[in-house]
Amino acid sequence: MSLDPITSEVVLSRLREITASMAHALFHSGYSPILRESQDGTAGLTDGTGRVIMVGGGLQYHSLLYTQAVTGVLERYPAEKMREGDSFVSNDPYKAGNSHVPDMVVATPAFHEGKVVAFGVSVAHKADVGGLVPGSSGAGAREIFHDGILLPPVRFTTAEGVLPEVEAILRNNSRIPDVVLGDLRGQAGATRLGAIRFQELLEEYGADTLLGTIDELMTRTTARVRAEIASWPDGEFEAEGFLDHDGVDRSKPVRIHVRAIKAGDRLTLDFSGTDPQAPGPMNTTRVTARAVSTQAVLAASDPSIPMNAGAFEAVDFHIPPGLIISPQFPATVNHYFPTSHLVYNCVLAAIGKFNPHRAVAPSGLGTGAIAVGYKQSRSAGRPTVQYEIMITSLGGTSDHDGAAIVMPVNHFAPGTPVEILETEYPVAVRRYEIWRDSAGAGRWRGGTGFVREYEFLTDCMLTIRSANHRQASWGLNGGGRPPTSRTTIQNPGEDPSDADILESRPLTSGARLAVYRSGGGGYGDPRERPADLVRQDVEDGYVSREQAREVYGLADHEN
């Protein structure tokens, strides 16, 4: 059907409002800091088959995961057997598409004239779902069963409320059940809100107009992506990066390799040169690798193009099974993010050669998380888990410096504020400051990294999931590499010692943990950076006088 463009834009704005309201409800109902402060979650809409319509929240790579989440539910629960009030939950990455076991997926059907026409969907991290260690993602994981409880798609709510049997199973498998179930109920509420609002929009505009607008949105998105690709020169470019190790054999790095092939308006990303799946937890699922790759394509072309089903249809992939980015069950995937982040940066590096004015240097690669299990929280006196994502910084671009202390890929997922940590957990943050000379030098330097140091005020169980303590990020077009990230642990009465990227260990009261997160890569020759910008960096504490002189070529009398 032919749609009035004004009506189409109004409907699209209403869809944006619905998904933004869903995300707002999700984050403002969160019990855990990882959800309410770091906003490690999304909420959005799919059509009745799982095609992504729109996602609210900053983790846009979640959008492709929604499709597998919905199709996984439909495989077990045919649409004709669903009823108003139903919501479904799953956290099995091989069935629901979530990136790792702590990410739970909730899907709630929206009905029109008795038929399922859409789903409200949410993916959000849970601070503990069982497994080897507090926080669930243990360094010693060797199979998915080590990562915590695995729920296939199951009904979580009906019109009568939450199913007590499912909630009892989850409560029995978490160290902090009240927090996890509080977050999960909030997720279900956010998806129900989306389903209700979608139904109201159907009643207001009619099925033909609403569903036709959605089809138009997806068609328009595909066309926009292909038009961007068509404007690039035909050819092939490659890029690769390395992880420190696979989580078991710590003697050799792991390779991520992509070959980007562009012909006409088609782009193929070939990952067949990537290393095989890992015995340790460094794997990431194929659906996540595809999602972050598609996000990189949009970033290198036109970032205003929305992440929906139309974008995914515009890019072709060759990802053979059994790679570290396409592991086979029952491989563990708990430390997926550094691998996914490196995939994103490699794709950016390869396709940035087709479109140089949108090229961007890689961000700092020290992503991951820390999880700390305590016997008592500071506020409630019950067992608790401090779970924090590790932020780094972005790389320089062709016309500005990289942003500092911004989460790569998930630009809107902030770190947990110091005040929240010290209020809820028996921990003191002794340092949180810029790490001088941590950015890759360049005409446009990378965003600066930082140091964050914790003192634990009671005995605890610490899990570090970091990255790239050996393998640094890189610069672009003559830009410099930033230093590697590092993590140190200092027990009372001892000197600090370097920790590996993956460690789980008990600590005693008074122990300190310092995380040094690398800055982003530099763009362009550092000696072309204007002297006044270098002087300002020195005054701000971002660059040392030595680096200003030796790397940027600033004379002593200018320092």
pLDDT in tens, 5-43: 888 888 899 999 999 999 999 999 989 999 998 889 999
Nearest partner of 364 among 268, 461, 445, 468, judged by Cα: 468
Return d(Cα 109, Cα 88) in angstroms, integer.
Answer: 9
Nearest partner of 299 among 262, 258, 346, judged by Cα: 346
Whether 364 and 491 share a structural domain: yes
Q: Can you spell out the DSSP letters for 432-492?
A: EEEETT-SPPSSBPPPPEEEEEEEESS-EEEEEE---SSS----BTTPPPPPPPEEEEE-T
pLDDT band at 529 (very low <50, low <70, confident <90, very high): very high
Whether 364 and 352 share a structural domain: no
Q: Can you spell out the DSSP letters for 247-291?
A: SS-TTS-EEEEEEEEEETTEEEEE-TTSPBPPSSTT---HHHHHH
Q: Does 548 fall in a domain?
A: no
- Considering 356, 381, 400, which residue would you say is the last residue of a domain? 356
**Is it the case that residue 362 has pLDDT exceeding 60?**
yes
Whether 523 and 390 share a structural domain: yes
415 token code pair: 């770190």
Whether 287 and 140 share a structural domain: no
Whether 231 and 191 share a structural domain: no
Q: Does 105 fall in a domain?
A: yes
Going by the DSSP 8-state scheme, the letter that residue 217 receives in this structure is H
**Is it the case that residue 559 has pLDDT exceeding 80?**
no
Return d(Cα 485, Cα 467) in angstroms, integer.
Answer: 7
Cβ proximity of 220 and 205 under 8 Å: no
**Is it the case that residue 548 has pLDDT exceeding 90?**
yes
pLDDT band at 283 (very low <50, low <70, confident <90, very high): very high
Q: Can you spell out the DSSP letters for 70-99?
A: HHHHHHHS-GGG--TT-EEEE--HHHH--S
132 token code pair: 């080897």
What pLDDT does residue 555 have?
80
For the entire predicted model, the pTM comes to: 0.95
Neighbour count for residue 424 (Cβ, 10 Å) = 18
pLDDT in tens, 220-277: 999 999 999 999 999 999 999 999 999 999 999 999 999 999 999 999 999 999 999 9
- Considering 173, 205, 237, which residue would you say is the last residue of a domain? 205
Whether 52 and 195 share a structural domain: yes
HEC per residue, 114-139: CEEEEEEEEEEECCCCCCCCCCCCCC
Flag the least confident range among 291-305, 330-344, 402-416, 492-506: 402-416
Q: What is the mean pLDDT of residues 300-315?
A: 90
Q: How many helices (H) and strands (E) does the chain have?
A: 13, 20
Backbone φ/ψ region at 283: left (φ over 0), alpha (ψ -120 to 50), beta:
beta
What pLDDT does residue 558 have?
64
Q: Does 211 fall in a domain?
A: no
Helix (H) or strand (E) holding 30: none
What pLDDT does residue 73 have?
97
What pLDDT does residue 123 have?
96
Domain range holding 457?
360-528
Backbone φ/ψ region at 58: left (φ over 0), alpha (ψ -120 to 50), beta:
alpha
Q: What is the mean pLDDT of residues 99-123?
A: 96
What pLDDT does residue 7 have?
84
In the chain, the number of structural domains is: 3
- What residues contact residue 136 under an 8 Å CB cut-off, 6+ apart? 101, 102, 126, 128, 129, 130, 147, 148, 334, 371
- Considering 316, 334, 356, which residue would you say is the last residue of a domain? 356
Q: Does 475 fall in a domain?
A: yes
Q: What is the mean pLDDT of the chain?
A: 94
Whether 347 and 407 share a structural domain: no
pLDDT band at 557 (very low <50, low <70, confident <90, very high): low
Return d(Cα 230, Cα 208) in angstroms, integer.
Answer: 32
pLDDT in tens, 437-484: 999 999 999 999 999 999 999 999 999 999 999 999 999 999 999 999
Whether 339 and 464 share a structural domain: no
What pLDDT does residue 407 have?
85
Whether 334 and 379 share a structural domain: no
pLDDT in tens, 180-222: 999 999 999 999 999 999 999 999 999 989 999 999 999 999 9
**Is it the case that residue 1 has pLDDT exceeding 60?**
no
What pLDDT does residue 64 have?
86
Q: Does 378 fall in a domain?
A: yes
Whether 306 and 421 share a structural domain: no
Whether 159 and 47 share a structural domain: yes
Strands lying side by side in the sheet with 460-465: 384-390, 368-374, 460-465, 502-507
Nearest partner of 243 among 471, 483, 407, judged by Cα: 471
CA atoms within 13 A on the CB side of 524: 17
Return d(Cα 245, Cα 380) in angstroms, integer.
Answer: 39
Q: Percent helix, strand and coil across the chain, each rounded to 5? A: 30, 25, 45
- Residue with more model confidence, 559 or 14: 14
Q: What is the mean pLDDT of residues 380-403?
A: 91
Nearest partner of 219 among 301, 304, 313, 148, judged by Cα: 313
